[in-house]
Structure 1
Amino acid sequence: MTEPTRPIRVLLADDETMIRHGVRLILRHADGIDVVAEAQDGRQAVELAAVHRPDVALVDVRMPVCDGLAAIAPLLALDPAPRVVMLTTFGDEANVIRALREGATGFLLKDEGPQELISAIRAAAAGDAVLSPGVTGAVIARMLRGGDPEAAEAARADDRIARLTAREREVLAMLGEGLSNQEIAGRLGIGVGTVKTHVGAILEKTGSASRVQAALLAHRTGLTS
């Protein structure tokens, strides 16, 4: 007899009560997702995450006491560490880039629809990148015009891509499209385990700390338009 799948445990961190209330109402009707804790600042988010052990932490970028950016590192230092998805507003590209460098799984606009929110949580729990289409393009543009403090590394981007095999470049391009491991496997006609192996090799060879950073590299080098 197959064991039932454990619900995805979610922590919400936002200083706006109405935002937390709205997200909680959406997730209440989503199969296999449980909101286990709510925090109103980053420090409380870390404290509650240590107790409730969420799989995914939805964290607002801007909060009092301790903002979302400062909370990323201590959240990722927990054992087990949750996947951290930043909640942001359009035009906050600089903070999004900082969040990605800190190791966030991705970012989601606050005004995304209910299905996008649910899909993002499931993708994050599965280890996939969460790239909100509404802000990805703006982040890429900022990086390309030098808005990223690490933009000096852009000149070496092609060298990093050159280390990849042809198949790994294919997979990287699909990461740039925001595809999940399962979607990549279906498109290429290979197993999900093989995709995971390719993703691991891509991260190592390109020096990317996360799938999100790898996806941004795909855009920066033209693998993904």
Structure 2
Amino acid sequence: MVVDDHPMWREGVARDLTEAGHEVVASCGEGRQAVRVIGAARPDLVVLDLQLPDISGVQVIRGLRAERPDVRVLMLSASGEQQGVLDAVKAGATGYLLKSAGLAEFLDAVRRTAAGEPVFTPGLAGLVLGEYRRLAAVREQAPDGTPDSAPRLTERETEVLRLVAKGMSYKQIAERLGLSHRTVQNHVQNTLGKLQLHNRVELTRYAIERGLDE
């Protein structure tokens, strides 16, 4: 589903997606309309503008995920303003791409976002990482004052987790470590289970919070 208040831009994005082999199930110019139709349209992924005329993109994300919790959201915005990026990610956006991105970069972001991979315009990635670290510092201790304890991961799981935190795809991780794509998937799934996380976005946040992306 494509949500953008500029008709020419919205139609252009929908056309590019269709020509790339994706099925566009809905196209909306307002946030409230997107929240209303998501239940019937049942998109796997929403390409969403941050600035909409009725409600903010952040409010739309919350509404979309309330109606369809497993939907992936790729923000496509002209703004790289710090607070807007962070608010979108905290609300549940899987990725954030600037409208200045080229077509190939956009289609790659769509593919990766649909697969649950966190995707950010390179200049925004450091901003998001820094915020996660700041939040981690605040949560360094448990509520009772005792240090936060983390489940034990194997050396290989930690290595894979570090590369996930850097935003690498499964294919890239497999090539880097000389493993099969399936083996990398298994390591990620095992790590998700140990950490009681649900997807790669949460896993990335966990890794970043512990400085594993460095």
Pairing of 1:1-225 with structure 2 (within 5 A)? 11-30=1-20, 32-78=21-67, 81-144=70-133, 146=134, 152-153=138-139, 163-203=152-192, 205=194, 210-219=199-208, 221-225=210-214
Q: What's the offset of the Cα at 1:56? A: 0.9
Residue 184 of structure 2 aligns with an amino acid whose one-letter code is: V
* Count of residues in Structure 1 that have an aligned counterpart in Structure 2: 210
Decide whether aligned partners of structure 1 residues 120 and 86 sit closer, same or farther in structure 2, where only a CA change above 3 A counts: same
Q: What's the offset of the Cα at 1:218? A: 3.8
Q: What's the offset of the Cα at 1:118? A: 0.4
Decide whether aligned partners of structure 1 residues 118 and 24 sit closer, same or farther in structure 2, where only a CA change above 3 A counts: same
**CA offset digits 1:15-50 (Å, max 9, x no partner):** 2223313323432431x2122211122221122222
TM-score when normalising by structure 2: 0.79
TM-score when normalising by structure 1: 0.75
> How far apart are the structure 2 equivalents of 1:173 and 1:100?
20
Decide whether aligned partners of structure 1 residues 90 and 138 sit closer, same or farther in structure 2, where only a CA change above 3 A counts: farther
Residue 200 of structure 1 aligns with an amino acid whose one-letter code is: Q
Q: What's the offset of the Cα at 1:84? A: 1.2
**CA offset digits 1:122-147 (Å, max 9, x no partner):** 11222222222121123334555x5x
Give the gaps of 5 or more residues in structure 2: none
> How far apart are the structure 2 equivalents of 1:26 and 1:160?
46
> How far apart are the structure 2 equivalents of 1:17 and 1:151?
43
Q: What's the offset of the Cα at 1:94? A: 2.2
Answer whether contact 2:132 2:205 (CA < 8 A) is retained. Answer: no
> How far apart are the structure 2 equivalents of 1:115 and 1:27?
11
Residue 24 of structure 2 aligns to a residue whose secondary structure is: strand
Give the gaps of 5 or more residues in structure 1: 1-10
**CA offset digits 1:179-217 (Å, max 9, x no partner):** 222332333343444433432344455566652343355
**CA offset digits 1:35-72 (Å, max 9, x no partner):** 22111222211222222221210112222323221222
Residue 61 of structure 1 aligns with an amino acid whose one-letter code is: L
> How far apart are the structure 2 equivalents of 1:98 and 1:215?
17
Moved more, 135-144 or 66-75: 135-144
